[in-house]
Structure 1
């Protein structure tokens, strides 16, 4: 199956209504349109367990894949990540979660 797109909210001076976060899809993962000005907000809705979000790098070094970034999100907390350089992460940032307790929303600064 295809990766699930993460909604992107563009900041404006007049204010923008935030989209509802999406529930992490463990089986299919997620994709985020990346222009180098996006950030990702990951919330762990669990009240007892820390879970991880994985940010996949698209670049290679000497023809070898670069290990993905695995970042813990403490239970009951949110973490913000970014920006993501397109040369490292690609124009479609691939994001994986290890539990449906993680919710995702992206923001873009214009």
Structure 2
């Protein structure tokens, strides 16, 4: 199956309600449309355990793959990611999660 797209909520000076986060999909993974200004918010709903999030880097340098970015999301924590360079992550970021306890939202300024 294809990766699950994370909807991107446009921010405005009128304010916007928080979107319903996407449940982490450990089987299919996710994709995030990325302009380089896109913001990714990841919440770990597991109160006891950290879980890994992997941001894929689909580029090569000198014929060698660039290592993916793996971040451990602490138990009960929310981390926000921004400035995802399109030169490094591309315009569609592949995202993998180690647990369905990770909840993902995205925003565009």
TM-score with structure 2 setting the length: 0.97
Matched, 1:33 2:33: yes
Shift of 1:85: 1.1
TM-score with structure 1 setting the length: 0.96
In the alignment, which residue of structure 2 is the partner of 1:49? Answer: 49
Shift of 1:18: 2.0
What are the Cα deviations for residues 36-63 of structure 1, in whole angstroms up to 9, with x where unaligned? 1101100000011000100011221111
Q: Secondary structure at the match of 1:87?
A: helix
What are the Cα deviations for residues 11-38 of structure 1, in whole angstroms up to 9, with x where unaligned? 1001112210010000000001111110
Unaligned runs of 5+ in 2: none
In the alignment, which residue of structure 1 is the partner of 2:15? Answer: 15
Q: Aligned residue pairs: how many?
A: 109
RMSD: 0.7
1:1-110 matches, within 5 Å, as 1-109=1-109
Q: Secondary structure at the match of 1:106?
A: strand
What are the Cα deviations for residues 75-94 of structure 1, in whole angstroms up to 9, with x where unaligned? 00100112211111011011
